[in-house]
Structure formats: structure tokens, C-alpha cells
């Protein structure tokens, strides 16, 4: 078991924040790292040319360690949509081919593929899942000889149901399709074996389960794409950019590995140091142990909610950190107001309540949610 870590956060006792899938709160040590980063710019005369690189490399190393991949395979990007634009630029889709997505997938992982399909004469296929199961079977069924890209998450952002990425990766490879992953709702909260899954590209925004700041994300790029085309051409990603005296000796070669895909103005200490500090905090516990702990917590909530008549999928079908409670008879009247009154923060999605706790939650948070549900259902 992992102890509650509430003392490391600034969440008032009477606030019951069970909505990490919406936005992870910053721990005090993460804010402190961001302030330390901001302070560096109070004295630009002390910010050396080498610092432009070292702050980025420290982040890249931490992101690689957290994900179990080499830092050389990590690019620093501002958002999921940016990362997926990089992916779309570097995968082939021909006329008549398909791009496989989940039904009601998060828009940042849909719009870019609609654009790609429009430009290439392909189509986006949005798979539907059979009502009570996970997404794996539907995705596997949709992959065939005409599939060019499979663009999916590890678990659905609304219902938490999983995709078996090892099986999907294997099938995608067998038909020559690229695998592009949006791990924003899973990386940091659930382990992923990159070596077994072998994605072409995989992105995670830092501001949810990675408990970091907004405006920064990590992009995994498989080595076979390291000669690929970036979507922007900034000075610092070119080879030799360490020598500030020779920046106008323009060069066509790049910094090694995935670095060519880094965003412009990447050397931003508040974001990099904040996101990195949050990753260190998660690694203190280990992602596998953290996932088990969050699974224990959501499972306990699911059992109590079941006694109130609320249905949810078992762990395995759903991701351990992601609970979606369905009201079989519809959402009770006044629920939203009651939750607000009791300062219980969750997300209402259709007829389900998305409950996503983390280590900053205490038993009092679960009790407040369950009591509010019991009152509304009485």
C-alpha cells in the first residue's frame, strides 16, 4: 500500500478533488521547481548557452526513465495535437486506406487524422465497442490489409475502458500499419511496455496523470522515424546549434535521435523543471505500484457504489486508475448541484460519473462522494 500524499499538495481539507483525468494538481514541490525555473530568468546573464540544452536533456532523461525508453527516443512538445501533427506528417496513408480510431475518441487524436484522410483519399474508421467489454476486440477486428494507421489510447478518456496495445501493435505490424498512441490518460498511472507494444509514435501531455504543468508533453518516436520530417524548423534542433557564434552557418543536419521533433523555444525552465519534478515524484513510488494502489482505491469505491445501484466495469476491462460509474436509471435530479455544494469534484459524462482519484486523495474524499451519491439516490 502507498500512503496518502495529501501533505505534499495544497488541497484544502474540505475539497474532494477526484478528477485527475481532468487536470492533475501540482504538488508543492512541483510548484517550487517551476518557481526555481522562473528565477533563472531573473538573471539572464547567468543563463549560459549550455543551459539551453541541459534543462531540456534533464527533462528528456526523466521522461525516458519514467517510460522505460531511451531519452534519444523522446521529443519535447507543447501538446498532444502538436505531437500527433508530427506523427501524421511522418506516416504514409494512400487513397482507399483507413485510419483506425475509437468511437468518441478525444478530438486531438481525431481531427488530425480527418485532415490526413482528406489530403490522401483515405478514411477514418471509428470503431464501436460491444456494450460491456473493453475496446480490444473491436479495434483488432477493424485492422485489415487496408489499414494505414491505428491511432488509439491505452484507455478511453471518457469510460476508462482499455485497449490491449500489445495485441493491437502486433496486428498493426502484421498488416504494415503504423501505431500512434495518445497516452495522456494513462502514462504515469499505468505501466506500458514500449518494447512489447512497439509504437511508432506515442504522446502524453504532462498536465494530467503526470501531475505536471500545462503546455508541455513528451513524444516517443521510434528510431525508424529518426530521419523523419519535423513540422517546424527551429534553430536549436539543427546540428551544431551549441555554437552560438556560428548559428548562421546554416546546416541541413539535425541534433540526434528524436530531438529534430522538439518544439521551438523548448528551453523553458519553469515547464521543464516542473514537469520533471512531478515525474521524479511519481517514480518515487514506481508506476506499477502506483497503478495497483489507484486500482485498490477505485475498486473500493466501485464496491460501495455498487451497493447504491451504480454499475462499473471490472479492472482489466477498465484501467485501474479510471472509474466510470453508470446510473442505470439515469442521472438523479440535482446531482450536479449537490456535488458542487459538497465540494466533490468529478466529471459527469453522459449517464456516467467519471471518478479518477490519485495519491492526494484521502478516505474522507471517497466518503464525501459516496455520501453525496447516497443522498441523491435516496
Ligand X SMILES: Cc1ncc(COP(=O)(O)O)c(C=O)c1O
d(CA 159, CA 324): 6
CA dihedral for 319, 322, 324, 325, sign (positive or negative): positive
Strand partners, 152: 181
Shortest separation between residue 185's beta carbon and ligand X, angstroms:
5
Shortest separation between residue 160's beta carbon and ligand X, angstroms:
11
Shortest separation between residue 137's beta carbon and ligand X, angstroms:
21
Shortest separation between residue 64's beta carbon and ligand X, angstroms:
20
- Looking at the Cβ atoms of 205 and 369, the one nearer to ligand X is 205
Shortest separation between residue 80's beta carbon and ligand X, angstroms:
3
Shortest separation between residue 183's beta carbon and ligand X, angstroms:
8
d(CA 299, CA 180): 30
Cite the DSSP H helix spans in 121-209: 136-142, 165-174, 194-197
Shortest separation between residue 264's beta carbon and ligand X, angstroms:
17
The number of CA neighbours under 13 Å toward the Cβ of 11 is 27
- Looking at the Cβ atoms of 51 and 265, the one nearer to ligand X is 265
Shortest separation between residue 195's beta carbon and ligand X, angstroms:
23
Using CA atoms, how far residue 225 sits from 47, 66, 113, 178, 302, in Å, is: 33, 21, 18, 11, 42
Q: Where are the beta strands (DSSP E) in the chain?
A: 16-17, 74-77, 98-102, 123-127, 147-153, 178-182, 201-205, 217-221, 323-326, 344-345, 347-349, 352-355
Catalog residues that contact ligand X under the rule CB under 6 A. Answer: 79-81, 106, 108, 153, 157, 182, 184-185, 205
Using CA atoms, how far residue 295 sits from 158, 180, 315, 338, in Å, is: 17, 26, 7, 26
**Taking each helix axis from N to C terminus, what angle separates 269-285 and 28-40, rounded to the nearest 10 degrees?**
150
d(CA 373, CA 350): 16
- Looking at the Cβ atoms of 163 and 376, the one nearer to ligand X is 163
- Looking at the Cβ atoms of 159 and 182, the one nearer to ligand X is 182
Shortest separation between residue 98's beta carbon and ligand X, angstroms:
21
- Looking at the Cβ atoms of 112 and 313, the one nearer to ligand X is 112
- Looking at the Cβ atoms of 209 and 254, the one nearer to ligand X is 209
Strand partners, 99: 124, 149
- Looking at the Cβ atoms of 83 and 305, the one nearer to ligand X is 83
Decide if 184 contacts 202 (C-beta within 8 A).
no
Q: Three-state SS for 16?
A: strand
- Looking at the Cβ atoms of 152 and 370, the one nearer to ligand X is 152
- Looking at the Cβ atoms of 180 and 373, the one nearer to ligand X is 180
Please choose, from the candidates 287, 303, 245, 330, the residue with its C-alpha nearest in 3D space to the C-alpha of residue 65: 287
Amino acid at each position: 500500500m502507498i500512503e496518502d500524499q495529501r501533505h505534499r499538495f495544497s488541497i484544502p481539507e474540505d475539497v474532494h478533488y477526484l478528477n485527475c483525468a481532468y487536470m492533475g494538481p501540482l504538488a508543492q514541490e512541483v510548484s517550487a521547481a517551476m518557481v526555481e525555473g522562473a528565477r533563472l530568468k531573473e538573471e539572464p546573464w547567468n543563463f549560459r548557452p549550455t543551459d539551453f540544452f541541459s534543462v531540456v536533456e534533464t527533462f528528456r532523461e526523466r521522461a525516458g526513465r519514467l517510460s522505460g525508453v531511451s531519452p534519444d527516443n523522446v521529443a519535447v512538445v507543447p501538446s498532444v495535437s502538436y505531437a500527433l501533427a508530427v506523427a501524421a506528417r511522418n506516416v504514409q496513408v494512400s487513397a482507399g486506406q483507413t485510419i483506425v480510431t475509437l468511437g468518441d475518441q478525444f478530438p486531438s487524436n481525431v481531427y488530425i487524422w480527418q485532415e490526413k484522410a482528406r489530403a490522401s483519399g483515405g478514411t477514418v474508421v471509428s470503431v464501436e465497442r460491444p456494450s460491456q467489454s473493453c475496446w480490444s476486440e473491436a479495434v483488432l477486428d477493424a485492422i485489415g490489409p487496408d489499414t494505414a494507421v491505428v491511432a488509439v489510447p491505452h484507455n478511453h478518456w471518457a469510460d476508462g475502458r482499455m485497449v490491449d496495445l500489445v495485441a493491437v501493435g502486433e496486428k498493426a505490424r502484421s498488416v504494415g500499419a503504423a501505431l500512434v498512441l495518445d497516452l495522456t490518460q494513462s502514462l504515469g498511472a499505468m505501466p506500458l511496455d514500449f518494447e512489447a507494444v512497439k509504437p511508432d509514435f506515442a504522446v502524453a501531455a504532462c498536465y494530467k496523470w503526470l501531475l505536471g504543468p500545462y503546455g508541455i508533453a513528451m513524444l516517443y518516436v521510434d528510431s525508424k522515424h529518426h530521419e523523419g520530417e519535423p513540422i517546424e524548423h527551429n534553430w536549436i534542433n539543427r546540428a551544431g546549434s551549441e555554437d552560438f557564434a556560428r548559428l548562421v552557418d546554416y546546416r541541413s543536419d539535425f541534433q540526434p535521435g528524436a530531438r529534430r521533433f522538439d518544439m521551438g523555444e523548448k528551453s523553458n525552465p519553469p515547464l521543464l523543471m516542473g514537469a520533471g519534478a512531478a515525474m521524479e515524484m511519481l517514480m518515487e513510488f514506481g508506476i506499477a505500484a502506483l497503478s495497483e494502489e489507484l486500482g485498490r482505491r477505485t475498486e473500493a469505491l466501485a464496491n460501495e457504489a455498487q451497493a447504491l445501484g451504480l454499475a462499473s466495469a471490472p479492472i482489466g476491462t477498465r484501467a485501474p486508475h479510471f472509474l466510470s460509474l453508470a446510473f442505470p436509471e439515469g442521472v438523479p435530479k440535482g446531482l450536479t448541484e449537490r456535488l458542487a455544494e459538497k465540494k466533490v469534484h468529478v466529471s459527469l459524462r453522459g449517464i456516467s460519473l467519471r471518478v479518477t482519484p490519485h495519491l492526494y486523495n484521502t478516505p474522507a474524499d471517497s466518503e464525501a462522494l459516496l455520501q453525496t451519491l447516497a443522498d441523491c439516490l435516496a
